[in-house]
Structures are given as structure tokens and as C-alpha cells.
């Protein structure tokens, strides 16, 4: 949700947007190709685009990155299907999520929240952050609001959470995340990168299920390229 915000707003005003429609998900990375290919295809220029500067692979494993922000409504809609899909991946596929900021101070706060949740292993807060922002109307866009919200959640040690949130480890993770977003030329979220080589594209008329099926196909392509 960044440069395509105008398109998303236009679609919504026409009544064409829905949680499962590709047009409502125009914030997905890359330009929207023409209608045609169903889910489950790896077609350059239609379901994915090769990256100009591929990242090196590690030990034969295929890394899938989802660039996202808690502040993005499309990321909220995508979070549950992406999580279900992630749990079904074979052992040679490593799935990671990377928070983006696009230089927004509010999204820097949300990125710090994400890494704090990851380091403290608090998965309930991961889903809870999306709910708080997009369903409960909480404005978790400054440090104090985040810390107060986290302290109110069951099983959270407020002092420990604050310590981790402001830690150098989280700061370093955020710097790395920003560098990755620049390296992969991420200009919209959610965006998916497969194997450091391929950026997924969303087609008109395609659903989240189609996108993930296409991602499966591109994972197979990445696996073949390693042989």
C-alpha cells in the first residue's frame, strides 16, 4: 500500500473491491499483468518477474520472503492465508516475513513491534497487532502506544518487552530489513520474493489462493535452477 493507493481507493469507490479480489490487492508487488493465467503457473512477466540482481542462495534451501507492514490493510487480509500456506511448505523452503517502512516513522514503530514479537516468541501478538489496528481501530504508531498495548496483552512481561523493543538487536534487524527492501526494489506490500531470484506478480482477476499457487510453481522453478 504505497504508490498504488490511488488505484485502491478508486476501486473501492466503484464498489469493485473485495477481500479476495486482485484489484483490491493492487498493492501486491509488481505491475498487474493481463487476465489469463490461472493459479499454479510460473510464467515470466505474468506470474513472476526475474530480479536483475539475484541474491545468493544458502545451503540448497529456498527462501521465500514476504515484505509487509502491520499498517497495510492488504497485508492484514493476506496474513491468514499466507500463514496457512507457510505451514504446508516442505523442509527445503524457508519462509520469512520482513517489515518495510518506506521511510514512514509510523511503520518504523510497527517494524520494531514485529521484531520484538519474534524475538520474544509471542505469536499471539503477531495476529493481535493486525486485529488491534484494522479491527479495533488502535493507533499503534508511536513507541508509547505500542508498549501500552503490549503490556495489556496476556502473558507479556511489560519490562522485558520494553527492553527488547529498544534493544540494539531490534535496531539492527530494522536496518537489515530496510536494506533488503531497497535491494529487492520493494515499492508495495505485500510483496513476495522467491529464492532471491523471483518477484511474484499479481494478476487481474486472481485471488490470494491463485497468488500462493503461483508462488508454489515458482518455488519449483527455483528448486530446478539449483540443480
Helix, coil or strand: residue 22: coil
Task: Write the CATH number for 69.
Answer: 3.40.30.10
Residue range(s) defining the domain that contains residue 118: 5-225
Q: How far apart are CA 179 and CA 107, in angstroms?
A: 15
| Strands annotated E in the chain | 48-50, 62-68, 93-99, 191-194, 198-200
Tell me the pLDDT tens digit for each residue of 158-200: 999 999 999 999 999 999 999 999 999 999 999 999 999 999 9
Kindly give the interhelix angle for 208-225 and 73-87, rounded to the nearest 10 degrees.
50
Digit-by-digit pLDDT tens for the chain (227 residues) are 554 443 344 333 333 333 333 333 444 444 344 444 556 999 999 999 999 888 776 677 999 999 999 999 999 999 999 999 999 999 999 999 999 999 999 999 999 999 999 999 999 999 999 999 999 999 999 999 999 999 999 999 999 999 999 999 999 999 999 999 999 999 999 999 999 999 999 877 788 999 999 999 999 999 988 77
How many whole angstroms separate alpha carbon 51 and alpha carbon 127? 31
Antiparallel, parallel or unpaired: β 62-68 and 93-99: parallel
> What percentage of the chain carries pLDDT values higher than 90?
73
Report the alpha-carbon angle 90-92-97, nearest 5.
85
- The predicted pLDDT at position 160 comes to 98
Number of domains in the chain: 1
Q: 10 Å Cβ neighbour count for 142?
A: 12
For residue 202, the model assigns a pLDDT of 83
Using an 8 Å Cβ cutoff, are 215 and 191 in contact?
Answer: no
Residue 17's pLDDT is 35
Amino acid at each position: 500500500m504505497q504508490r498504488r493507493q490511488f488505484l485502491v481507493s478508486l476501486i473501492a469507490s466503484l464498489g469493485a473491491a473485495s477481500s479476495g479480489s486482485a484489484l483490491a490487492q493492487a498493492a501486491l508487488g509488481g505491475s498487474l499483468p493481463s487476465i489469463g493465467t490461472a493459479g499454479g503457473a510460473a510464467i515470466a512477466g505474468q506470474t513472476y518477474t526475474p530480479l536483475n540482481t539475484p541474491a545468493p542462495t544458502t545451503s540448497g534451501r529456498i527462501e521465500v520472503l514476504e515484505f509487509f507492514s502491520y499498517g497495510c490493510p492488504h497485508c492484514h487480509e493476506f496474513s491468514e492465508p499466507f500463514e496457512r500456506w507457510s505451514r504446508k511448505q516442505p523442509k527445503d523452503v524457508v519462509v520469512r516475513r520482513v517489515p518495510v517502512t518506506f521511510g514512514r516513522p509510523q511503520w518504523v514503530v510497527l517494524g520494531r513491534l514485529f521484531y520484538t514479537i519474534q524475538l520474544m516468541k509471542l505469536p499471539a501478538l503477531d495476529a493481535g497487532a493486525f486485529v488491534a489496528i484494522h479491527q479495533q481501530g488502535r493507533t499503534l504508531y508511536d513507541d508509547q502506544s505500542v508498549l501500552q498495548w503490549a503490556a495489556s496483552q496476556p502473558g507479556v512481561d511489560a519490562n522485558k518487552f520494553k527492553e527488547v523493543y529498544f534493544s540494539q538487536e531490534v535496531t539492527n534487524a530494522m536496518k537489515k530489513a530496510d536494506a533488503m527492501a531497497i535491494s529487492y526494489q520493494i515499492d508495495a506490500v505485500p510483496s513476495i520474493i522467491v529464492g532471491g531470484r523471483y518477484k511474484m506478480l499479481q494478476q487481474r482477476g486472481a485471488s490470494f489462493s491463485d497468488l500462493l499457487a503461483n508462488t508454489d510453481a515458482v518455488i519449483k522453478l527455483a528448486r530446478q535452477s539449483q540443480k
